[in-house]
Every structure is written in C-alpha cells, then in structure tokens.
Amino acid sequence: MPQPTPNARDESDQTRGLVLGVGCDRNITSELFERGIAHVLEQFGLSLAAVRCIASIDKKRDEPALLRFAAANAVTVQFFSAAELDAVSGERASEIVRRHVGARAVSEPAALLASGATALLVPKTVYTEPGAGASLTVAVARCPDASTANPSGA
C-alpha cells in the first residue's frame, strides 16, 4: 500500500488546493468512481472539499463517471495528451496503461501537470472492488499557490 508523503494529513479543508490525477477503465460506473475517490481521500486524511481539479488523459474527455463527478462536486477538469503526460519524469510507468491509452502513466503525471507541483502528495493508488470488473487509479498533488490561498475558502 502506498504511503503518504510528509504532511499529507495536514491538508486544510478550507483550501481548494488539491488536484486529483485519475486514470480509470472505460465506462467505469459513477458509483465505483465516487467510492474510489472517497476511499483514497479518506485513506490519506484528505477532504473532497479541498479538491480544486481532476486531471486525466485527453482520451477521457467523454468519460461519463469522471464528468459527472466533476460536475457534482464543482471541480474543474483538465485533460492532457499522451505526449504531455510522457514528458513528466518520475512517475511509475505501466505497460498496461501504455497499451490502452498510449501514455506510460496517467494519474501521477496528470496530477503534477494540472497542479504545477513538483512532487506528489499521494502517489498512484489503485482502487477496485471484488467483482467490479473495473478499477481506477488516483494520485494527489497540492497546487503550490494553495498555501497562500484565503483560509476562508473565498
């Protein structure tokens, strides 16, 4: 199980400074997607209220569960090409991801690119459920400007 980086549990719920990098199976159910995000955030002591953006590969522009989740939680969505994701160094590469979407990795580089951070707060974490037939990966980064954001959330 991945370990949180230092201070992962110190994220203030008052600041919308978190970016979720997400990779998921095509046509994942909205319910599984939501439970997966909630599980990862809870596992690392983070709050959905602190999420500013969800980021993924451009091939997920029409992924219903991702789009529904973003709309329901009033977070922005950013998409990156495989070339943009591959330009980020340090992520854990996956041959399975490369075969399916053409990038070495999705969740970790997407979180870093969308946040502008140089390090992850939470590394790629895989979520699935027995019999689900689908899974998602979530990585979390904190926007560098989050520490100077208005603590009231305004």
In order of their start, the domains of the chain are 16-143 (3.30.420.180)
Q: What is the model's pLDDT at position 99?
A: 66
Q: What is the model's pLDDT at position 154?
A: 29
Question: Is 12 within 8 Å of 52 (Cβ atoms)?
Answer: no
Q: What is the model's pLDDT at position 24?
A: 93
Q: What is the model's pLDDT at position 127?
A: 96
Q: What is the model's pLDDT at position 8?
A: 45
Q: What is the model's pLDDT at position 3?
A: 45
**Rounded (10°) angle between helices 30-43 and 64-72:** 60
Q: What is the model's pLDDT at position 90?
A: 67
Read off the pTM: 0.81
Weakly modelled stretches of the chain, pLDDT under 70:
1-14, 90-91, 93-95, 97-99, 101-104, 146-154
Q: What is the model's pLDDT at position 147?
A: 54
Q: What is the model's pLDDT at position 76?
A: 95
Q: What is the model's pLDDT at position 95?
A: 64
Q: Which amino acid is at 70?
A: A
DSSP notation for 112-150: HHHHT-SS-SEEEEEEE-TT---EEEEEEEE-GGGGGS-
Q: What is the model's pLDDT at position 105?
A: 82
Q: What is the model's pLDDT at position 12?
A: 43
Q: What is the model's pLDDT at position 89?
A: 76
Q: What is the model's pLDDT at position 5?
A: 45
CA-to-CA distance for 35 and 21, rounded, in angstroms? Answer: 15
Q: What is the model's pLDDT at position 103?
A: 66
